[in-house]
Amino acid sequence: MNFVPAHETASRPRLVVIGNGMAGIRTVEELLSRAPDKYNITVFGAEPRVNYNRIMLSPLLSGEKTFDDIVINPLDWYQHNNILLLSGDPVIHIDRAEKFVISRSGTKTPYDHLLLATGSDPIIIPVPGHKLPGVVTFRDVDDVDTMLAAAENGGEAVVIGGGLLGLEAAVGLQARGMAVTVIHLASHVMERQLDGSAGHLLQEELRRRGITVMTGADTAEICGTDRVTGVSLKDGHHIPASLVVMAVGIRPNGRLANESGVAVERGIVVNDVMATSDPSIHAVGECVQHRGLCYGLVAPLFEMAKSCADDLAGINSTGYGGSVTSTKLKVTGVDVFSAGDFSSGPDCDDIVFRDAGRGVYKRIILFEGRIRGAVLYGDTSDGAWYFQLMKDETDVTDLRNSLAFGQAFAGGSATNPIDAVAALPDNAEICGCNGICKGSIVSAITEKNLTSLDDVKAHTKASASCGSCAGLVESLLAATLGGGYQAASVKPICPCTDHDHDNVRRLIRARALKTMPAVMQELEWKTPDGCHICRPALNYYLLAAWPGDYVDHGASRFINERVHANIQKDGTYSVVPRMWGGLTNPRELRAIADVADKFNIPTVKVTGGQRIDLLGVKKQDLPAVWADLNSAGMVSGHAYGKSLRTVKTCVGQEWCRFGTQMSLGMGVALEKMTWGSWMPHKFKMAVSGCPRNCAEATIKDFGVIATDGGWDLHVGGNGGIHLRATELLCKVTTEAEVREYCGAFIQLYRETARYLERTAPWIERVGLKYVQDRMVEDAQNRATLFARFIESQKTAQIDPWAERATGGVDAHEFKHLTAAE
């Protein structure tokens, strides 16, 4: 994980950064943009990983994001900027007199300037049992991994704390299948951000999702002997639990600074340029105290980073003057926004808007004609506008009558979203997750000729995290480029919905939707039962998301899959029994011949996948044909399926004088491991016994070519109309590695590809590097993918459509399955 630069420039001073998190690395980014050659930079990180977006931990927990999705700066960023990264090695001592730091591994590193970005520590309430195994906090990826491991076994979870983090943890765990109870000491959830009315609406939404919320609940004890078994409250209630999440708050981590003699009160005391009591030491982020205040939200941290970078770069600036903060809840389908002070008072005016039918609540607090605070629930589209008016201390007296209706009706005249965002000042914050203002986005658009939302994400990070500001960014693109901008069109799955494939997959996981009616209800399908386009796709996505829970819906599959045969132009069917790796034997051949004679099947053909195709089978004969073939031990070749089709082989080292490895055995092993797999589309494999490649492995979805030293693994080929050669995934040496890579590749493909997307266009869309990063570079993730694949294969063998494909189907069931035809 660590990167060591090739060299240091002796003339440059040394900057050591303690903390590889969002605040410290944002400061480094800002410094590099101002003075890229000023320092030799060393970064120490306590976690054994690169810089990632901590505020995206809740989507990581719920399954909406992967770790790669939330990485801010990958390893090559450190390399490109010649930064020495020492991750997983926290600093344990600072010697201010001699100006060096010592890490846990014993590494001694001198500094000329030191930047402290040590963040905050979670508060653990010291009730009995708080140290039991099964009690976790929610602050980093390791905490998420712990919760995910607990969620694999199901059961009950208790979240102590109904603030931002607590609710996000609760929703994430519920999406992972746990029964969740939130216990909160205050009278309503998120009391620091929401008033009672908005808190009530949020609680009701959480309860509707199946999460129990107990307010006014005071924890007495966490129960258990060897590990957590439950939580007892002071009023006598007992809640069973195998996992307890502490999410009751944070405190600045000033331990290192305090031990070294730097001034620390609640946090590390800093001035407006983020310098501490030691002029050679700066501090930023949740660890600091500025003008008596400590901040736990990301926007102030990024503002601090700019002021600190100015000072480190030798640029005179006004410095950091403190922050007005806003908050959004990162829970899919729940829109909550809060900013400023909503406590009101005798000198304040409240403007309240309620729409019970839509579940919308807005409250704007005015003081002397200016916005003092705002709370929005259900419709947060005007949050940025209210927030900017509040930060600018704009007199809104003339807007009062229409203020509750938002920016579109400001001053009594409606405007479109493009005009609305164009009217915002350059310092208006557009992306709260990454602290990106309008001016920065507009400058990037004009200076770098950006023309799409993806371009803006790549160059500015705006909308690259939770995505809630994507609409604002697109409006900025339209306002900046005028007629030259064309919004990226979202292609819905079908006319029944406005959602595309990717969004449906994400929401199925995020909202724990486990039936087709639930998906259509929650995602507001326009038709009552869907159509022939969306139903097969939903059936696949539900099976992929919940392989152990979801019961495959045979009636939502195409006719070929329902009858386990390919329909032909004359209305008859083609039956293809499976031949493992292209191998057969006299018994199977006799069975095929007998079936052809018995049912007067007119054509028997050897297929391109080394199997025998029985063409011209009458529909009413299909059950009996399969019964006879099954009696000879032959199962379906799934020639009709969105599944594994064939594994083509050459005779390899078993027979061929040029063979370098046992390709026949490998082909049979791969086919037996993967048959019956449900896929987004058909999937073909091949194993060639030497580089002569007689099995044509380089035009298959997964191709294996034997070499003297092992096996070359190829992916993403297609021999159809649009010919595409494979790309080399990697080289391996053992048969076990071939099997693991094969299963992991299939699992990654079916978890991330769109329905009816072959591996060739999938890899063209996501990139070979995306696949290699998750399989070749990350051995642990590869093993995890392979384990999920093997587990899903157990489900595939008992799945109704796979069972029927073995030939075990009677006439009554067959008639029922095909009744729709």
User: Residues annotated in the binding site for siroheme, as ranges?
Assistant: 694
Give the amino acid at 166: G
Q: Alpha-carbon distance 42 to 711, whole Å? A: 40
Contact 687, 656 (CB under 8 A): no
Contact 246, 124 (CB under 8 A): yes
CA distances to 91, 93, 114, 345, 589 from 105, rounded to whole Å, are 9, 12, 19, 55, 67
Q: Side-chain half-sphere of 271: how many Cα atoms within 13 Å?
A: 11
* Strands of the sheet with 179-184, listed across from one edge: 135-136, 243-246, 156-160, 179-184, 212-215
Longest dimension (CA), the chain: 96
Contact 522, 511 (CB under 8 A): yes
Going by C-alpha positions, the residue among 709, 775, 710 that lies closest to residue 742 is 775
Tokens of 499: 């959602």
Angle at 790 between CA 516 and CA 711, to 5 degrees: 125
Assign 430 to helix, strand or coil. strand
C-alpha radius of gyration, the chain, whole number? 30
Annotate 47-60 with three-state secondary structure. CCCCEECHHHHHHH
Going by C-alpha positions, the residue among 679, 545, 625 that lies closest to residue 177 is 545
Q: Alpha-carbon distance 762 to 245, whole Å? A: 38
Q: What are phi and psi of 408, to 5 degrees?
A: -60, -25
Q: Alpha-carbon distance 87 to 150, whole Å? A: 26
Assign 379 to helix, strand or coil. coil
Please state the residue numbers annotated as binding site for [4Fe-4S] cluster. Answer: 650, 656, 690, 694
Contact 572, 616 (CB under 8 A): yes
409: DSSP letter: G
Going by C-alpha positions, the residue among 90, 95, 115, 93 that lies closest to residue 105 is 90
Angle at 369 between CA 368 and CA 374, to 5 degrees: 100
Contact 678, 540 (CB under 8 A): yes
Any residues with CB less than 8 A from the CB of 531 and at least 6 apart, and which?
494, 495, 496
Give the amino acid at 516: M
Contact 40, 63 (CB under 8 A): no
SS3 content of the chain, % helix, strand, coil (to 5): 35, 20, 40
Assign 712 to helix, strand or coil. strand
Please state the residue numbers annotated as binding site. Answer: 650, 656, 690, 694
